[in-house]
Amino acid sequence: MQELKIKLVSMREIAENTMQYNFKKPKEFDFKAGQFVVLDVINPKFSDNRPSFRSLSIASSPHEDVLSFIMRHSDSAFKKSIKAVKEGEEVIIKGPLGHMTLPENEFTPVIFLIAGVGVTPALSMIRFMENKISKNPVRVLYANRTLRSAACLEELKKEVNLQDYKFVSILSHENGTCECVRGRISKQLVSENAVDLKKAKFYIVGTLGFVNAMKGILEELKVEKKQINIDNFG
């Protein structure tokens, strides 16, 4: 496992209380779309009873020259410390890690069931598939509370460069006008949008409660465990 220093290039708010951090990718760092790293802040400005490092999924694609990370902010020392890092300063990463990667068969349907910042590894994989003009049918069911809290929504909604792509936004607490499904991801919604339930690869990313709910739905739909990839964001 590599340990490297990477330099912050830019940061910006991309949704309500949600930041994207872009670092220059070292030439010697190779990863597969969907993987994560352990990121450690050097000389953190804040401390609490938790470590100064976190496991973070990579949002950028392997073909890009940046490493991007997306996170909701809170009062934790780690998140306050990384927000205090200035452009040009460095952090440490260890990795890459993780087995949430795309199927080798590029005709296998890929179905993302994601919530909140669980969008991060999905973005990496979708951007990679778009770059190589993948033949995989892709379905994205993206759950958020409101439009304002949905990171990278416009990018996922647009007509991406894939042969068979469909995106569905699901909002549980949105009162305004939107092109979305109101409520939560349901068994019916998954069944209506899935492609070949017996062969598809499912990627579930979100909080523990969300992950368990999606696992329950797939179990009801008789999807085998070997078809399911899970990343619990806590």
Q: Residue 118: what pLDDT?
A: 93
Name the phi and psi angles at 210, rounded to 5: -65, -45
pLDDT bin (cut points 50, 70, 90) of residue 190 is very high
**Does the structural domain 2-97 have CATH classification 2.60.40.10?**
no
User: For residue 234, is pLDDT > 70?
Assistant: no
pLDDT tens track for 82-135: 999 999 999 999 999 999 999 999 899 999 999 999 999 999 999 999 998 889
- Every domain range in the chain assigned CATH 3.40.50.80: 110-232
> What is the C-alpha to C-alpha distance for residues 120 and 47, in angstroms, rounded to an integer?
26
pLDDT digits (tens, 9 = 90+) for 31-75: 999 999 999 999 999 998 988 899 999 999 999 999 999 999 988
- 110-232 under CATH 1.10.1670.10, yes or no: no
